[in-house]
Amino acid sequence: MTDPLYAELLDLALEAARRAGELLRDGRPADLGVAATKTSPIDVVTEMDLASEKLITGFLAERRPADGFLGEEGASVVGSSGVRWVIDPVDGTVNYLYGLPSWAVSIAAEKDGETVAGVVAAPMRGETYHAVLGGGAYRNGEPVHCRPAPPLSQALIGTGFAYLSERRAAQAEVLRTLLPRVRDIRRGGSAAIDLCDVACGRLDGYYERGLNAWDMAAGDLIAREAGALTGGRPGEPVSNDLAVAASPDVFATLQPLLEELGAWHD
């Protein structure tokens, strides 16, 4: 039976993500522009990223005022309840800016530092993914499972690239060796959706260096609950150094290969 706290956190995350997704889909200005830049000139924030985070944190704080918050656009609150919300108000901002459909709202709830509920809403796909710890993974309420693993040579692998050009050069080097060894590579532009694509069998695996907690917290739980393995460098959990998620047999080959190729450093 699902812990009643996890169920409550899930329901709140689902409703907050639904509202934010609607705001982003229906409220996207035709002349949407860049409001600010972050780590580099191509790491952009739009007014809608800010509006989405405000909506989500406002909704959750009203209902659970003692919780903590970590949001990409600045939310940072130390709570007193042991629950912390980890929020990416728009994952895939560059897609959103250009009118491409692969963007999502990602909301995870941690209890005492462990992710216990995760929601990734992708409105332009008409899909919402969710999971609670120990309860399986779902797309629009239907259970999802990762794909039975092919050999790495037939695996479809997703990845992503940093906004910093020096890091991109190192990422391109890793890809140069990996690409001839796999079926093909996809660069979708939303880490949260990439992780959900592993969860539902649309990708055999995914890896990326340089993710932050808000990019991966919800998707990591959803992928694990769908039967995928996730991790960072061998023996470590997903981290900013490296995040790998894949069907178990693909993971067993992909993670050591990424270690050997140095995918975890610039």
Residues forming the site for Ca ion (CB under 5 A): 72, 88, 90-91, 215
Q: One symbol per residue from 213 to 232: x for binding ligand IPD (CB under 6 A), - otherwise; what is it?
A: --x-----------------
- Residue 143 beta carbon to ligand IPD: minimum distance, rounded to whole angstroms: 25
Are 89 and 52 in contact by the 8 Å Cβ rule? The answer is yes
**Which range, of 54-62, 89-97, 138-146, 255-263, touches ligand IPD by CB under 6 A?**
89-97
Instruction: Render 92-119 in DSSP notation, one character per residue.
Output: -HHHHHHT-S--EEEEEEEETTEEEEEE
Nearer to ligand IPD, 190 or 230 (CB): 190
Q: Please identify which residue in 21, 68, 71, 92 interacts with ligand IPD, judged by CB under 6 A.
A: 92
Token reading at 229: 């393995």
Which regions of the chain does DSSP assign to beta strands (E)?
Answer: 34-37, 44-46, 68-71, 76-77, 83-91, 104-111, 114-122, 127-132, 137-139, 142-144, 156-159, 184-186, 205-208, 229-231, 243-246
Token reading at 7: 């169920």
What residues between 171 and 190 interact with ligand IPD by CB under 6 A? Answer: 189-190
191 binds ligand IPD (CB under 6 A): yes
Query: Closest residue to ligand IPD, Cβ-based?
Result: 160
Q: Please identify which residue in 53, 73, 88, 204 interacts with ligand IPD, judged by CB under 6 A.
A: 88
Q: Minimal CA–CA distance to 49: which of 34, 31, 63?
A: 34
- Residue 254 beta carbon to Ca ion: minimum distance, rounded to whole angstroms: 22
Nearer to ligand IPD, 42 or 252 (CB): 42
67 is in the binding site of which of Ca ion, ligand IPD, none (Cβ under 5 to 8 A by kind)? none
Count of helix runs (H) and strand runs (E) in the chain: 7, 15
Distance CA(166)–CA(155), nearest Å, equals 28
3-state secondary structure of 156: strand
* Strand 76-77, strand 68-71: pairing: antiparallel
- Residue 40 beta carbon to ligand IPD: minimum distance, rounded to whole angstroms: 11
List contacts with ligand IPD (CB under 6 A). 88, 91-93, 160-162, 189-191, 208, 210-211, 215
